[in-house]
Amino acid sequence: MDDIPKIGITGMPSVGKTDTLLKIIKSLEEHGYIVGGMITEPIIEKGHRIGFHVTDWQTKQQEVFAHINYEAKEKIGKYGVDITALDNVGVPAIEKAITDENVNIIVIDEIGKMQMISEKFCKMVIEALDSDKPIIVTLHKKSRTPLLQDVRRRDDIRILEVTPVNRNLLPYKIEKIMEEKLPPLF
């Protein structure tokens, strides 16, 4: 069980956590691994981030999850958050990645303040981390929510920080960690 790679990528907002993860996914897929889970991508308009999509990595199903123009019950910073988008797209994507025998690696981007409004999401993150599959997650750096504290305290996850200095090299470092511990495909 200890040899299953579990990687957490953390860093300040906009430093490149998702970009780092996407580079790793691309490389792993080029090597034949099947990746499943969810990605949270920014919605950029005129050079400014105005919200986020949640995307099922395998099906590419996507919904707007947070937006500056949402009049939502839940607000994090300037964003209104639509939990149903996360519960309809992100949570099932993670669940499918855990249960689908064809999926080799689970990805969850991001375990952050917005996502943690959803109890279903929080439960699914723990299920994914407790599963016997390799996993790569991105973690909000400063949030002190119980789920993030629990993830950081786990001794089976290795947490690496993306910085402006290392963001070009970090994907290769994580790929090497994953490849050393992943079972061969053939």
Which DSSP string do the residues of 100-144 spell out, in sequence order? -TT--EEEEEEESTTGGG-HHHHHHHHHHHHSSS-EEEEEESS--
Average pLDDT over residues 100-105: 95
pLDDT tens figures, 155-179: 999 999 999 999 999 999 998 888 8
Burial class (CB in 10 A: 0-12, 13-18, 19+), 39: buried
More confident residue, 146 or 186: 146
pLDDT tens figures, 7-39: 999 998 889 999 999 999 999 999 899 999 999
Average pLDDT over residues 125-140: 95
Q: How many CA atoms lie within 13 A of 90 on its CB side?
A: 33
Average pLDDT over residues 57-71: 95
What token pair was written down for 100? 């689908």
Q: In which element (H, E) is residue 48 found?
A: strand 48-56
Q: Domains, the chain, ranges and CATH?
A: 6-180 (3.40.50.300)
| CA distance readout (Å), 99 to 103, 104, 132 | 8, 10, 10
What token pair was written down for 146? 């119980």
Burial class (CB in 10 A: 0-12, 13-18, 19+), 128: buried
Whether the per-residue pLDDT at 110 is higher than 80: the answer is yes
> What pLDDT does 65 receive?
95
> What pLDDT does 14 receive?
84
Dmax of the chain from CA atoms? 50
Whether the per-residue pLDDT at 122 is higher than 70: the answer is yes
More confident residue, 71 or 115: 115
Band (64; pLDDT cuts 50, 70, 90) = very high
Q: Which residues pair with 127 in a beta bridge?
A: none
Whether the per-residue pLDDT at 1 is higher than 50: the answer is no
Average pLDDT over residues 61-84: 93
> What pLDDT does 33 receive?
93
Q: What pTM did the predictor assign?
A: 0.93
Band (186; pLDDT cuts 50, 70, 90) = low
